[in-house]
Structure 1
Amino acid sequence: MKALLFDFDGTLLNTNDLIIQTFMHVLEERFPGQYSPKDCMNFIGPSLRETFEQLTPNEIDEMIEKYRQWNYANHDNLVTEYDGVVDTLEKLKQKGIRLAIVSTKRRDTIEKGLELMGAKHLFEFWVGVDSVKNVKPDPEPVLLAIEKLGVSKEDVLMIGDNYHDILAGKNAGVKSAGVAWSIKGEEYLKQFDPDYMLQHMSDLLTIVEES
C-alpha cells in the first residue's frame, strides 16, 4: 500500500457533535420542533446539497449558507480529536506513505480542521466538494486523488466512517477501510463490505506493512 485516502469528518476529526448541533440550529429555525439530534445523525455523510435538496428543495442555497456560517463560527469549540490519529499519520508519513483527503466538505473547512489538529503538513492535498462535479459515492473524487498522486489503484486504500466512503472506493476500483469509531457503528459499516475495519487508527501501520 503506497497511498491512503481519508475522509475527514468522523474519520480524522470528531466533528459529529458540531454537525448535529449545526443541523439542529438551522432546522429548528426553519422547522420548529420537527427534528431531533438522532434525526440529524442521518445527515452525516452526504453532501449538504444532497441533504437540503431533500429537506428544503426550494431553499437549498440559503440553507447551505446558514449551515456553513454557524458551523464555521462554532467549529473550534465543538470538535475533538480521535485517539492516535495525528501520531499514526506522522508515522505513516515517515514510512513514505502518500496521504491525501477526499471529503464532501469544502476545502477551506477541511484546512481549518487540519490546522486545528496540527496535521496540515502531513497531507499532499485535499479533494473537497468544490473540487469535483460528483461527490462520493461517485468515484470521481477518489479517481481525481489517484490521478494527482500518480499511483496505481492497487496501491491505494480509501478510509472512512460512512457508506459513501466505502462505496466510493469500490466504485473507483480501490480497496476500502471502515473505522469502528464511526458514529453509525461498526456493524453499520460492515454491511457495505469494506476490505478492512480499523479498530484504532494505528491499525493502518500493520496494514501498510503487510500489503
Structure 2
Amino acid sequence: MSNKIDTVLFDLDGTLIDTNELIISSFLHTMETYYPGQYKREDVLPFLGPSLQDTFQPMSPEGYEEMITTYRTYNLANHDLLVKGFEGVYETVRTLKESGFHLGIVTTKRSDVVQMGLKLTGLDEFFEVVVALDHVEKAKPDPEPLLKALNQLGSSPDRAIMVGDNHHDILGGKNAGTKTVGVAWSIKGREHLEQYNPDYMLENMADLLPILGV
C-alpha cells in the first residue's frame, strides 16, 4: 500500500495550522453579536468543520449572510494574532515534498484566508494545489473538492490519502475513495474521529512518514 500512495491531501484548520482559538473566538464574537449571552465556548465547538453557511443558515435563514460577514471581519482582523503552527507539521510536509509526493489542501475556508495561514506558518511553498470553499459547489464531506484536487494534481483516489481533524475530512476521503487519516490533536478529540473509522490515526504529523514509507 505505502508504495502506491503518491498524493497527500490535507485539511488546513486544526490539521496543519492551529486556528482553533481564532475560529472559536470568531464564533463567540458572532454569536454574542446576534444572540447575546446564549453561547459559551463548548457550545460553538460543533461549529468547527462545516462551512459557515451550513452553520449559520439553519439558525437564521434570512440573516445568515450578515452573520458570515461579521464572522469573517473578526476572523481576518485577528488572524495573525491567534494562528500558529502545530508541532512537527512544517518538517513533515517539507520531507514529503522533498520525497516527491504531490501535496494538496482541501478546506472549507475561502482561498484568501487559506493563503494568509499558509504564509504565516511558512507552508505556502509546499502545496501545488489548494481547493477552497470558493472553488467548489459542494464542501466536504461531498467528494467534489477532493476529486477536484486530485484531478489538478494528476492523481487518482487509489493513490491518495486524506488527512484531517474533523469527520468531514474522513467522510470526504471515504466518499472520494482515498485512504483516510485522522489527527489525534483534533479539538473535538480522537474519539470523535475514531467513530468514523479512519484508516490511520496520527499522534504527531511525523507519524505520517512511516505510513507512506518515507
Q: Residue 202 of structure 1: which of 202, 206, 213 is its match?
A: 206
Q: Residue 61 of structure 2: which of 50, 53, 57 is its match?
A: 57
2:206 equivalent to 1:190: no
The C-alpha deviation readout for 1:43-66, integer Å capped at 9, x for no partner, is 000000000112222111111111
Q: Which residue of 2 aligns with 1:75?
A: 79
Q: Residue 164 of structure 1: which of 162, 168, 174 is its match?
A: 168
Structure 2 unmatched runs, 5+: none
2:130 equivalent to 1:126: yes
Counterpart Cα distance in 2 of 1:55 and 1:202: 39
SS at match of 1:99: strand
Give yes or no for contact 2:129–2:153 (8 Å, CA) kept in 1. Answer: no
Counterpart Cα distance in 1 of 2:56 and 2:87: 32
Structure 1 unmatched runs, 5+: none
The 5 A counterparts of 1:145-156 are: 145-156=149-160
Tell me the CA shift for residue 152 of structure 1. Answer: 2.4
The CA RMSD over aligned residues, in Å, is 0.9
Q: Which residue of 2 aligns with 1:108?
A: 112
Following superposition, which runs of at least 4 residues in structure 1 exceed 4 angstroms of deviation? none
Give yes or no for contact 2:161–2:180 (8 Å, CA) kept in 1. Answer: yes
2:99 equivalent to 1:95: yes
What's the TM-score, normalizing by structure 1? 0.98
Counterpart Cα distance in 1 of 2:8 and 2:128: 11
Counterpart Cα distance in 2 of 1:119 and 1:145: 17
Give the total of aligned pairs: 210
Tell me the CA shift for residue 168 of structure 1. Answer: 0.3
Q: Which residue of 2 aligns with 1:174?
A: 178
Tell me the CA shift for residue 15 of structure 1. Answer: 0.6
